[in-house]
Amino acid sequence: MNIHTIPVITIDGPSASGKGTIAQLVARKLGFHYLDSGALYRLVALRTLQSCIDIDNIAQLTDIARKLNTVFKDNQIYLDGKIVTDDIRSEQCGNLASKLAAHSQVRAALIERQRAFRQLPGLVTDGRDMGSVIFPDANLKIFLTASAEIRAQRRHNQLIEKGISANIADLLQDIIERDERDSNRSIAPLQQCTDARLLDTSSLTISQAQDSVLTWYNEICAKTSA
């Protein structure tokens, strides 16, 4: 079977926009596979921190990306057989992952690993460049966003629920800086593709956002089969 006939839905957007939550729900509803592309960069960041490697040592960072021994299973993420699902969600990992993503060699090392997730019956993936770079032929491309203030509040709520202390002002500043970095990097910058649908979730519930994506996908399927 031609791999390019396997359906793909890409959901790109800035940090803390809710793209991961929506992508997982849509994947579960459709029975599709799910790829959290950002987790791969966070895994590289975690291993970089664990190994005390300098962020400017591109060769070592690329080697880490190329040799990642990771498994995504039952909503858990494993690195060398150890569950690191919560470890990679720290703000430290997130900020470092954003910086690592600016290195073309690191990105190149992860491209084929990401594309390998395209398997039957289909894939829903979220990230920064899923529609623009990794899956340019995706059936449906979404650019999901929300105001920086709303995103900071959401991130704050997530951390508090996990028992992690957080300051909204600091989170907002981190989000603004990450947006700036992700949008202005020279390699695969965060951007809305010309063929992507904008979905602003600032005033939407999770259910409403999920329904919007499913409605758009069903419309595309209906046109294709007509």
β strands within the chain, DSSP E:
8-12, 33-36, 70-73, 76-79, 82-83, 123-127, 140-145, 197-200
Over residues 122-180, the pLDDT tens digits come to: 999 999 899 999 999 999 999 999 999 999 999 999 888 888 888 999 999 999 998 99
- Candidates 126, 143, 152; CA nearest to 199 is 143
Q: With pLDDT > 90 as the criterion, what percentage of the chain qualifies?
A: 71
CATH number at residue 67: 3.40.50.300
What is the domain extent for residue 67? Answer: 8-215
Q: What Rg, from alpha-carbon coordinates, does the chain have?
A: 17
Does the residue 225 lie in any domain? no
Inside any domain, residue 43: yes
Residue 1 included in any domain: no
Confidence band of 226 (pLDDT split at 50, 70, 90): low
The verdict on residue 143 lying in a domain is yes
Q: What is the mean pLDDT of residues 182-209?
A: 90
| Alpha-carbon gap, residue 63 to 78, rounded angstroms | 18
The mean pLDDT value of the chain amounts to 92
User: What is the Cα–Cα distance from 84 to 67, expressed in whole angstroms?
Assistant: 17
Is 172 domain-assigned? Answer: yes
Residue 159 lies in a domain: yes
Number of domains in the chain: 1
Residue 224 resides in a domain: no
